[in-house]
Structure 1
Amino acid sequence: MTAPIEPRPAQGYAGDLTPQQAWDLLAAEPGAVLVDVRTEGEWRTIGVPDVASLDKATVFTQWVTGDGRPNPGFLAELEAAGVPTDQPVVFLCRSGQRSIGAARLATSAGYGPAYNVLEGFEGPVGPFGARDQAGWKVRELPHTAYAEPTR
């Protein structure tokens, strides 16, 4: 039996998870969903988390658009993607900052528990300007190139 996943406490959402805790939660909870809230440009150029080995698909919806504007359709896109309101929802961005806002908004709209992934997909900028110190990719969690969704 695995140890329970204990998120770091947070205000306005269920809490913060390390990338490994997020993976473990997604693996342990059949209804849990991973939502990548980075921009389409980030998905295309940096790659995306791969949860296929868990028989899941990542939901892609931008928290902000490529020009930095808030995505007014964010909640509608979660609903359209079939994100359940009564299951864990794990939000991921580049460094774990934008996904806090997404987790808070989702919580206020009745989703959840909603979590933020600390460190995000790439983590913060390191001492030499690269994002190679932390994050989903550095922790060697599954990731792949972005594939255009089929319509």
Structure 2
Amino acid sequence: MKKIVFFTLLALFYSSTGWSQSADYQQQKAEKIAKGSVFTKIINRELPADIVYEDDDIIAFVPLRLQAPVHLLIVPKKEIYTINDATAEDVIVLGNMMLVAKRLAKEKGIAETGYRLSVNTNEDAGQSVFHLHMHLLGGEKLGQMVGAEKQTDEK
């Protein structure tokens, strides 16, 4: 019985101290979802965008704030809030997002030199638009990933 109480208290502690989204973030997220995503507005042509690719399921465009010489957003037209909300029904569109990224990287001349694909999910990753999207970044040597340490041959 003591173990059950301990693990229940431990779970409550972690859920309230950093293993969940902050109350402010949860509120902002709920408000943004209720309002509708800026990406849906681009898809519906309610907002302008520099669209570089579009098919029945996916749209890709240049973001307002570039983080690299080549920076594109690849967005499913289906509104999926986060990768955590993706279902088995979304497998094909998720795979096609990768193939669109490959195609655009080749078109932009960065397929051979290298590029990064990034999907931010929720608070700790800095997700601010709640419509799943993938960043295609390249055109220069990109920095190390967060927390990556230099690897050496020394042992």
For normalisation by structure 2, the TM-score amounts to 0.25
Query: Larger RCO: Structure 1 or Structure 2 (Cα < 8 Å, ≥ 6 residues apart)?
Result: 1
For normalisation by structure 1, the TM-score amounts to 0.25
Looking at CA atoms only, which structure, 1 or 2, has the larger radius of gyration?
A: 2
Higher percent of residues as helix: 2
